[in-house]
Amino acid sequence: MSTHQEKLSLRVLLVEDEQKIADFVCSGLNARGFVVEHCRTGHQGLEAAKRQEHDFIVLDIMLPGRDGLSVLKEIRALGISTPVVLLTARNELGDRLEGLELGADDYMAKPFFVEELVARLHVIRRRILGAGHDVLQYGKFRLDLVSRKLSYEGREAELTAREFTLLEYLMRAPGQLFTRAQILEHVWGYDFDPTTNVVDVCIKRIRNKLALLQDGEDLSVHIDAVRGVGYRFKP
Ligand code: CA
């Protein structure tokens, strides 16, 4: 089967209330090929982070309402492992240490050059990619948690962010039945109209990829549907 070969842009979630800084970070990152989503408050940033669609989160500490450290704490408590670079306005050692303890990957003290931020992001990226390949494996099926690719006997399939999150969720508990509501909450992260069919549509796409990878062989790995209830992963 064919696989996507195009290089995907790295996606950055920027949470920063100061317009001047946000403008210069956005334009600097855009110019270097990153795609930036900008939020101005901690609450908005947290909601955006829950979608887990970003390769990095650049998070200001001093934000109106919910501050960056509390957002970081919540992100990690939710099990979201997206790398976080904190922006510190003051040269406060305490905030930085607390941030690193809460699971930040790095910090930048303002003012900074956007080149330095880009360099840090690439260092984090290399560190993650080099940190051994975390893989969920059942038989010949492998879900690479770093490259987010699904493979079977050397054939590979790309997954969208949602497909990946959903499949990882099911694969981590093989045989366990998950309801649509549980899947919605975990993968989409918010209260969705319970009559929505996004879960079924996403499952269908994953199933098609599983079937394509197994290319006519008996499906050794598949996703079971339990009518009216939900889905489970069957190795
Ligand atoms: Ca600020």
pLDDT given for residue 132 in this prediction:
52
Q: Name the helix (H) or strand (E) containing 37.
A: strand 35-39
pLDDT given for residue 68 in this prediction:
95
Q: Can you tell me the distance from the alpha carbon of 128 to that of 211, in angstroms, rounded to the nearest whole number?
A: 30
108 CA to middle of ligand 1, Å? Answer: 13
Edge-to-edge strands, sheet with 141-144 = 135-138, 141-144, 149-152, 155-158
66 CA to middle of ligand 1, Å? Answer: 11
Query: What one-letter code names the amino acid at 168?
Result: E
Report pTM: 0.55
pLDDT given for residue 100 in this prediction:
86
pLDDT given for residue 96 in this prediction:
81
Q: At what angle are helices 68-77 and 42-50 packed, to 10 degrees?
A: 20
Q: Can you tell me the distance from the alpha carbon of 132 to that of 140, in angstroms, rounded to the nearest whole number?
A: 19
- Of the candidates 68, 75, 105, the one whose C-alpha atom is nearest the C-alpha of residue 89 is 68
64 CA to middle of ligand 1, Å? Answer: 8
pLDDT given for residue 115 in this prediction:
86
Going along the chain from its start, the domains and CATH numbers come out as 11-129 (3.40.50.2300), 134-233 (1.10.10.10)
Ranges of residues in the chain with a pLDDT under 70 are 1-8, 90-91, 130-133, 189-192, 194, 216, 219
227 CA to middle of ligand 1, Å? Answer: 49
Strands 11-15, 135-138: parallel, antiparallel or unpaired by DSSP? unpaired
pLDDT given for residue 144 in this prediction:
85
38 CA to middle of ligand 1, Å? Answer: 13
